[in-house]
Amino acid sequence: MTQMDVADTGAPQFSIGRVLSTGFSVLMRNIVPFFAVAIIVGIPYILVASWSAAEAVPGQPNYGAQAITMLVSLLTMSLTTSALSYGTFQSLRGQRAGFGDILSRGLSSVGKVIVAALAYSFAVGFASLLLIVPGVILAVMWWVFIPSLVVENCGIGESFTRSAALTKGRRWQVFAVMLIALLIQVAFGMAIGFVVGVIAYMATGGEPGELGWLMAVVELLAGSFAAVLATVGYYYLRAEKEGIVIDDIARVFD
């Protein structure tokens, strides 16, 4: 997809198919640098997941380790979305971004992203305790809070308000995109994780817990797709509601 495909045919409408197909196309065109960035950003998660798996005792759930792993996972996903935002916008413009540029420009707001991600994790996690549904509602409303924060350089609280405004009227479609992305991530993770896990286990004879790092890597690679989708969705939501073109959005990175 070239810039003309996205920006020169009028204001495109947000749709499930359009977001998924564009996101998949962007990821495939940039799979090497995007995956490399996801692994680099995810090093803390790989370490924590490996530790958590090694500490696990069959039949004795370690809720503390699980909570830490989940929190680090959410932070990693937010930082990955931030990092890949630059590369995604460049791809939507018909340009390519290198590994170094993706990291440096995509993580230019790393401090605010971490604070916002912590606030998001606490709010969604607390709401999820109330029969799950409130947490899902918040997750859908705040689907594009990271792109809003990175691209528009707004305040942390404003990024959530901005995301809620952009997703308003499209939340069932956003929910569908998030659900489909989750199913794709799970399927990818199960398939790749099973094959690689079996090979690694046969080669090393190691205990399953020793493969915690490997499963974390698979999760990071699968999560790259969701990170790209959030940025693509942010673009289409703004294009539909504000009639803005991709160059106007991406100019913040120039």
3-state secondary structure 70-127: HHHHHHHHHHHHHHHHHHHHHHHCCCCCCHHHHHHHHCCCHHHHHHHHHHHHHHHHHH
pLDDT for 231: 93
Give the separation between CA 146 and CA 41, rounded to whole angstroms.
15
pLDDT > 70? residue 8: no
Over residues 98-109, the mean pLDDT reads 82
Q: What is the pLDDT of residues 15-42, one digit of tens each?
A: 999 999 999 999 999 999 999 999 999 8
pLDDT > 60? residue 4: no
**If you ran DSSP here, which 8-state letter would residue 211 be given?**
G
Count CA atoms closer than 13 A to 125's CA, side-chain side: 13
pLDDT for 251: 72
pLDDT for 160: 95
239 sits in which H/E element: helix 212-242
Residue 98's pLDDT band (cuts 50, 70, 90) = confident
* Cβ–Cβ < 8 Å for 232, 21: no
Give the separation between CA 98 and CA 117, rounded to whole angstroms.
25
Could you count the other beta carbons within 10 Å of the beta carbon of residue 219? 23
**Residue 171 vs residue 68, higher pLDDT:** 171
* Cβ–Cβ < 8 Å for 233, 211: no
**Residue 191 vs residue 79, higher pLDDT:** 79
- At residue 43, the 3 state secondary structure works out as helix
pLDDT for 72: 87
Give the separation between CA 209 and CA 49, rounded to whole angstroms.
10
Could you count the other beta carbons within 10 Å of the beta carbon of residue 141? 20
Q: Which residues contact 161 (CB under 8 A, 6 or more apart)?
A: none
Give the separation between CA 60 and CA 40, rounded to whole angstroms.
32
C-alpha angle 7-9-13 in degrees, rounded to nearest 5: 80
C-alpha angle 247-177-125 in degrees, rounded to nearest 5: 105
Residue 61's pLDDT band (cuts 50, 70, 90) = low
Model confidence, pTM: 0.84
Mean per-residue pLDDT of the chain: 82
Residue 152's pLDDT band (cuts 50, 70, 90) = confident
Give the separation between CA 122 and CA 100, rounded to whole angstroms.
31
Over residues 180-192, the mean pLDDT reads 81
pLDDT for 48: 86
* Cβ–Cβ < 8 Å for 238, 244: yes
Residue 228's pLDDT band (cuts 50, 70, 90) = very high
pLDDT > 70? residue 119: yes
pLDDT for 243: 85
